[in-house]
Amino acid sequence: MNAPATAREFKSDYKPVWCPGCGDYSVLAAVTKALATLGLRPENVAVVSGIGCSSRIPAYTTCYGFHGVHGRALPAATGLKAARPELTVLVASGDGDGYSIGGNHFLHACRRNVDLTYIVMDNHVYGMTKGQASPTTEPDWDNKLSPGGTGIRSFHPLVIALASGANFVARAFSGDTGGTARIIAAAIRHPGFSFVEVLSPCVTFRPEQRGWKERVHPAAVDPTDDAARAARRIMTDDGFNIGVLYAGARAPYPLKRADARCEPAALEAQFACGEVAP
């Protein structure tokens, strides 16, 4: 058996094209650190993403990677986990990818509780497409694409995850790489669907987010296993409360490799004899 890989060995030779100072560099460092801490190897892990600056992350690791279609990372990851349950599957998104176009998949992934770790790099903006408001953008964020702000109430991902059945809910801050790595490792270890919101500044379109490092603070209380209590706490916190906020005990969706796998030739034969409706 091969020895566990180091964080360095989880990083690929591709140089990230993120802007200097983007929070996503630290998320990449935290992910590779978490995987090394857990004693994994790149061939044990798959990183699946959609589209956005944050969704570039699979290419920067040496794990199996799938850089898919905008908003569709979760269904692709669910299919992969069903076919290869022995893999540790991480899913990476941004707030646009995960909560706008991918919002419906988010609800149902929480509800299904397949054993995935969902990491959303939340910068409250669409970075890749140059600064449009996202579901987590503050309603009064004034910029040239939404003068005076959108006036639309922002989405509350952590509470929505709890209401939809996620089994583990946490908030991290990219500026604290060690803390983010510990939270991601705990999320991977926890069975079922684990959701980690990482506050990850977009220094280009939201330069004021550099100030987040002064606003974040550790959660004052231990995680609860009571979803209603966790939701109440999160609804009333200031959005900068960092830590594991909920760790539930729901059994993950059961996956059996033998049931999930079907060789393409066998599937073609079933189509040919009319066993599977086209």
Burial (CB count <10 Å: 0-12, 13-18, 19+), residue 92: buried
Considering the rule CB under 6 A, would residue 58 count as an interface residue with ligand TPP?
no
Rounded to whole angstroms, what are the CA distances from 63 to 2, 18, 59? 15, 20, 9
Question: Per-residue x/- mask for ligand TPP, residues 82 to 111, rule CB under 6 A?
Answer: ------------xxxx--------------
Considering the rule CB under 6 A, would residue 197 count as an interface residue with ligand TPP?
no
CA atoms 70, 103, 198, 39: torsion sign: negative
Evaluate whether 154 touches 135 at the Cβ level (below 8 Å): yes
Q: Which is nearer to ligand SF4, 42 or 94 (CB)?
A: 94
Question: Among residues 5, 10, 11, 24, which is the contact residue for ligand SF4, using CB under 6 A?
Answer: 24
Distance CA 134, CA 131 (A): 9
User: 169: part of which helix (H) or strand (E)?
Assistant: strand 168-173
Question: Per-residue x/- mask for ligand TPP, residues 224 to 253, rule CB under 6 A?
Answer: ------------------------------
Distance CA 268, CA 272 (A): 6
CA proximity to 172, closest of 39, 4, 33, 66: 33
Q: Which is nearer to ligand TPP, 62 or 137 (CB)?
A: 137
User: Residue 192 binds which one of ligand TPP, ligand SF4, none, with CB within 5 to 8 A depending on kind?
Assistant: none
Considering the rule CB under 6 A, would residue 52 count as an interface residue with ligand TPP?
yes
Stretch that binds ligand SF4, among 7-15, 201-209, 230-238, 261-269 (CB under 6 A): 201-209
Q: Which residues contact ligand SF4 by CB under 6 A?
A: 18-19, 22, 24, 53, 123, 127-128, 202-205
Q: Which residues contact ligand TPP by CB under 6 A?
A: 51-54, 70, 94-97, 121, 123, 125-129, 134, 202
